[in-house]
Amino acid sequence: FARMRELPFFKGFPDAVLWEALRLGTLSQRPADTVLMEEGTIGDSFLLLLQGTAKVMRGDTKVATLEAGVTLGEMAYLRRDEPKRTATAKAETAVLVLEIKNEALHRASEELQISFDKAFIDLLLQRLMKTTDELGKKAASGGLSLVDN
């Protein structure tokens, strides 16, 4: 609980709701080089990275390194109609994760669902802004065209 409370992802979660999330999920430590989720598979859960780092791969290309305090696989939760994993996540270091089954969260209290939805929106907005910034820098340096010719 104390570790989760320290992470920015959970800043808007009331204590009772944070305890509910902890009870809802399964905590586990996984060693470095463990595949946490695999691209192309059906996702029935998402992970909260509580300690350690993980890399995200699309095919053979590394697209991100994630630090503690973020989620992995949330798109499978958010896209009920198409819960296929869009990337592979692999632990770069030993990690501590909280796994929450999608259906368990869909059945949880409304307050917990709203807290997660708000946190997911914030996280996805941060990722979108970072990607937009990176694309803008590549386009400015002539390495990427953002319009069709």
Q: Give pLDDT, residue 122.
A: 84
Instruction: Give the residue ranges of the chain where pLDDT is below 70.
Output: 143-149
Q: What's the 3-state SS for the chain?
A: CHHHHHCHHHCCCCHHHHHHHHHHCEEEEECCCCEEECCCCECCEEEEEEECCEEEEECCEEEEEECCCEEECHHHHHCCCCCECCCEEEECCCEEEEEEEHHHHHHCCHHHHHHHHHHHHHHHHHHHHHHHHHHHHHHHCCCCCCCCC
The amino acid sitting at 47 is L
Summarised one tens digit per residue, pLDDT across range 45-61 is: 999 999 999 999 999 99
Predicted TM-score (pTM) of the model is 0.78
Q: Give pLDDT, residue 146.
A: 56
Q: Give pLDDT, residue 101.
A: 94
**Of the candidates 91, 36, 86, 46, which has an alpha carbon nearest to the alpha carbon of residue 65?**
91
